[in-house]
Amino acid sequence: MDIKDIIKPENLVYDKSKVQIDTIMHYCPGCSHGVVHKILSELIEEMDIQEKTIGIAPVGCAVFAYNYIDIDWQEAAHGRAPAVATGVVRLNPDKFVFAYQGDGDLASIGAAEILHACNRGENLLVVFINNATYGMTGGQMAPTTLNGMVTSTTPGGRNIDLNGYPMKITELIAQLPGTSYVTRQAVHTAGAVRKCKRSLKKGIQNVLDKKGTSFVEVVSTCSSGWKMTPVDANNWMAENMIPYYPLGDMKDSVKGGPVSEN
């Protein structure tokens, strides 16, 4: 069978979402942000919520998220996205609001804002990209940087005595009664991407059903920051990040409900 007979509109099985803006993203080759942007765009299209979606972009590499997903966006100050999102959702309870944040943004400078927004059970989705580094500023240590991991501010590797421990903030957030769904996913393989998409869909549906805060961590790579090829970064992540940040649901409950056993 000739390839031209396969490449026909009626045989199309996978294409770019209409909600994703047709432009080349500024992200480095292999960056996990691109995958997460793609699945968010797909979900916004599939769930037909473009008109009710308001995204809050962080400071970090995803600062330009508004150039890639065709929805209304607000660009927040570093770490403040959960507070900004709170302002939006409290005054517009009929909207689907999500905050998109990296590990420096969420777990370091914005630790207070994320904990309190989740504790209040704000009806929003938080997408947390954890690549264990500050990508945009050039690969410095983040709160989630692994012990011994080399970054531009830990050239000899992260030292627990000096820098403290890699922060499992998602585990902390799962303890807060305001959250309804807390999970950790990844996007390094096709199977992981499909699972992550299901998690994000559940998070969005929870917000539409007004169930309180849903929180989806995506363990991610930063091949530029890690100084690896994209494929090596994915493999390194699977071997080193995932053992410390294990994947799976930490909580699938209702606002005010208990933390589940797994």
Rounded-to-integer distance, Cα 148 and Cα 150, Å: 6
**Beta carbons of 154 and 141 less than 8 angstroms apart:** yes
Q: 181 to 210, contacts with other proteins by CB under 8 A?
A: 187-190, 193-194
- When asked if residue 6 is in the footprint of other proteins (CB under 8 A), the reply is yes
- When asked if residue 13 is in the footprint of other proteins (CB under 8 A), the reply is yes
Rounded-to-integer distance, Cα 257 and Cα 69, Å: 33
- When asked if residue 8 is in the footprint of other proteins (CB under 8 A), the reply is yes
Q: Which of 172, 162, 201 is nearest to 185 (CA)?
A: 201
**Whose Cβ is closer to other proteins: residue 109's or residue 254's?**
109
Which listed range, 25-33, 138-146, 155-163, 211-219, lies at the site for other proteins (CB under 8 A)?
A: 25-33
**Whose Cβ is closer to other proteins: residue 157's or residue 201's?**
201
| Residue the block writes with tokens 């922060």 | 167
Which listed range, 175-183, 210-218, 228-236, 246-254, lies at the site for other proteins (CB under 8 A)?
A: 228-236
What is the residue type of 171? E
**DSSP 8-state symbol, 172:** H
**Whose Cβ is closer to other proteins: residue 116's or residue 201's?**
116
Q: 53 to 112, contacts with other proteins by CB under 8 A?
A: 53-54, 56-57, 63, 66, 70-77, 80, 83-88, 90-92, 95, 112
Rounded-to-integer distance, Cα 140 and Cα 150, Å: 9
- When asked if residue 255 is in the footprint of other proteins (CB under 8 A), the reply is no
- When asked if residue 27 is in the footprint of other proteins (CB under 8 A), the reply is yes
- When asked if residue 234 is in the footprint of other proteins (CB under 8 A), the reply is yes
**Whose Cβ is closer to other proteins: residue 36's or residue 253's?**
36
Q: Which helix (H) or strand (E) holds 101?
A: strand 96-102
**Beta carbons of 130 and 219 less than 8 angstroms apart:** yes
Separation in Å, CA 88 to CA 82, 95, 136, 175, 235: 10, 8, 26, 25, 39
Size of the site for other proteins (CB under 8 A): 68
Which listed range, 31-39, 126-134, 142-150, 248-256, lies at the site for other proteins (CB under 8 A)?
A: 31-39
Q: Which two tokens stand for residue 106?
A: 């969420």
- Characterize 196-228 residue by residue with b for buried, 16 or more Cβ atoms within 10 angstroms of its Cβ, and e for exposed: bbebbbbbbbbbeeebbbbbbbbbbbbbbbbeb
**Beta carbons of 142 and 132 less than 8 angstroms apart:** yes
Q: Which residues bind other proteins (CB under 8 A)?
A: 1, 3, 5-8, 11-17, 20, 24-25, 27-35, 38, 50-54, 56-57, 63, 66, 70-77, 80, 83-88, 90-92, 95, 112-113, 116, 187-190, 193-194, 223, 229-231, 234
